[in-house]
Amino acid sequence: MTFSDFNLKDTILTAVTQAGFKEPSPVQKEAIPLVLEGHDMIAQAQTGTGKTAAFGLPMMSMMKADGSVEGLVIVPTRELAMQVSDELYRFGKLSGLKTATVYGGTAYGKQIERIKQASIVVATPGRLQDLLMSGKIKLNPKFVVLDEADEMLDMGFLDEIKNIFTFLPKERQTLMFSATMPKGIRRLAEEILENPKTVSITKSESTNSKIIQYYYVVQERERDDALVRLIDYKNPDKCIIFCRMKKEVDRLVAHLTAQGFKVSGLHGDMEQKQREVTIRAFKSGGIDIFVATDVAARGLDVNDVTHVFNYHIPFDSESYVHRIGRTGRGGKSGEAITLVSPNELRTIKRIEKDVGAKLITQVIPTRIEVQNSRQDELIAKIANTQITDNAIELVKTLQHDLDIVTIAHLLASMIQNDNAVKGKDIIGLGLEEVELLIERAMQHRGNDRGRGRGNYRGGNRRRNSGGGNRNSRNGRNSRNGGRGSQRD
């Protein structure tokens, strides 16, 4: 199935093609026809399944671009408001559809002016309620969307949502999207939806099959070394690293910056302008690595994220799905990588069962392995480098004192030193050790917490995981392009 099968407006279909979307996701396949038919709808789908396009494409395909606000999308956070607004603008710009983003912490005047020019308003509940109750704006949308409804319930926005709907027209098409369906969401649906159709995407469908999921078992003290080694080896074009706490974000940003990476962080204590600048820099390629907490990154939508790293395993399966859904977007493939301590093996196995996908155990590559993978990239880079006049003059000058072979050796040594891989040679546990730990964890659920860690602390930890085990890392090769280009 392709997007052309939905009979969307030509300008919308062209925008979808330009955005790089190829095949509709499960929620898009089910939701788009129902929205086009005019039904109210309640859709249960996880973050990262393509919900914005599921409601945005059919909604905009039916809009007239007549200068009025035709669509209203209500979301829980500022970050999600910005992301949804950006994506809707991208889909609607060829159709003359403008978006306005409304959230707290910024001046009312500018937002009101943008609303007057917009076809779609994307708003957080608090600021939207303020504008409606004060009479500063009046809205008469044909389409109303509640996105991440369960998140709004968790954040205590239920009263605001109910109040907002008292200001909206009775004749409207209302769409609700929620990852879970607690009683509060079901009651709200009964109040604001009329004879809704239901779409439910199962957990196995929620996990994008184009995302390859790996986990590496390391001791707690090895997390920083493991993360840097994997970034060096995987060489991501653009990646997000998820942390549990704000202070962890700040510490990792400082650590990775010191290693020469172009990195920035995002968490709840940052001021709004700083957050917007950071997200814009990540989208435009000004930074390659984004370190964030779950809450700060909710709704972050960047289509070319190649890798997601979980510095710590998330607390629950839904958070895991949310995190890894930041990659593998728009029909592209991606990788999700989780660092796990021996004590967390049961948790990763539970998540694996919950999300209905296979998480592949791998071994952290050695320093020599990363160095060898870089060697191939370096040779290719040298072979494709254009010779400049300055370089010719430099070699002529050096030839006064040195022969040409010595010059070549010296220059190659200088380049290799600049690209040297740092850190310990061996990081983390081998495959046989991991398998044994998993077996023990499953057999002794109650009393293995301390034992699993203690048994593998000695100097012969990797006694069984050299050669043979290292050669069975599922054929993972380094990405093309040198790490140097991301550290300049």
281-323 pLDDT, tens digit per residue, is 888 888 889 999 876 666 566 778 999 999 998 877 777 887 8
Minimum mean pLDDT among 108-117, 179-188, 250-259, 433-442: which range? Answer: 433-442
E strand spans, 297-455:
307-310, 334-340, 360-362
- Strands 263-266 and 289-293 turn out to be parallel
Do 467 and 403 contact (CB within 8 A), yes or no?
no
pLDDT digits (tens, 9 = 90+) for 462-483: 333 333 334 334 333 333 333 3
Give the CA distances from residue 72 to residues 67, 120, 145, 169, 196, in Å, rounded to whole numbers and listed in that order: 14, 6, 6, 12, 18
Give me the DSSP letters along 181-206: --HHHHHHHHHH-SS-EEEE--HHHH
* Contacts of residue 148, Cβ cutoff 8 Å, sequence gap at least 6: 47, 75, 76, 80, 177, 178, 179, 298, 299
E strand spans, 82-235:
99-102, 120-123, 143-146, 173-178, 197-200, 211-217
Q: Which residue ranges form the domains of the chain, and what is each CATH number? A: 3-205 (3.40.50.300), 208-366+426-486 (3.40.50.300), 368-418 (no CATH)
172 vs 454, more confident? 172
Report residue 452's pLDDT band, with 50, 70 and 90 as the boundaries: very low
Query: How many CB atoms are closer than 10 A to CB 341?
Result: 20
The percentage of residues in the chain with a pLDDT greater than 70, rounded to a whole number, is 84
Any idea which residue has 């957080």 for tokens? 124
Residue type, 451: R
pLDDT score of 448 more than 50: no
Mean pLDDT of the chain: 82
The backbone torsions φ and ψ at residue 203, rounded to the nearest 5 degrees and listed phi first, read -60, -40
DSSP 8-state code for residue 55: H
Query: Would you state the pLDDT for residue 50?
Result: 80
Instruction: Report helix, strand or coil for 340.
Output: strand
Query: Would you state the pLDDT for residue 467?
Result: 37
Query: Would you state the pLDDT for residue 174?
Result: 97
- How far apart CA 15 and CA 11 sit, in angstroms, is 6
Query: Would you state the pLDDT for residue 295?
Result: 66
Query: Would you state the pLDDT for residue 363?
Result: 92
- How far apart CA 412 and CA 398 sit, in angstroms, is 15
322 vs 366, more confident? 366
Query: Would you state the pLDDT for residue 408?
Result: 84
Query: Would you state the pLDDT for residue 208?
Result: 65
> Residue 256 class from Cβ within 10 Å (0-12 exposed, 13-18 middle, 19+ buried)?
buried
The backbone torsions φ and ψ at residue 211, rounded to the nearest 5 degrees and listed phi first, read -95, 115
pLDDT score of 484 more than 50: no
DSSP 8-state code for residue 83: H
- How far apart CA 139 and CA 169 sit, in angstroms, is 8
Report residue 88's pLDDT band, with 50, 70 and 90 as the boundaries: very high
CA-based R_g, the chain, Å: 26
102-111, 329-338, 418-427 — most confident range = 102-111
- How far apart CA 127 and CA 81 sit, in angstroms, is 12
CA atoms within 13 A on the CB side of 207: 21
pLDDT digits (tens, 9 = 90+) for 141-188: 999 999 989 888 877 899 999 999 999 999 999 999 987 788 888 899
- As beta bridge partners, residue 308 has 240, 336
> Residue 107 class from Cβ within 10 Å (0-12 exposed, 13-18 middle, 19+ buried)?
exposed
368 vs 234, more confident? 234
- How far apart CA 300 and CA 148 sit, in angstroms, is 13
- The most distant pair of C-alpha atoms in the chain lies apart, rounded to whole Å, by 88
What are the tokens at 478? 């380094």
DSSP 8-state code for residue 283: H
Query: Would you state the pLDDT for residue 314?
Result: 82
What are the tokens at 83? 């992301």
pLDDT score of 335 more than 60: yes
| Mean pLDDT of all residues in 245-274 | 87
| Mean pLDDT of all residues in 454-465 | 37
Region at 67 (left for phi over 0; alpha for psi -120 to 50; beta for the rest): left
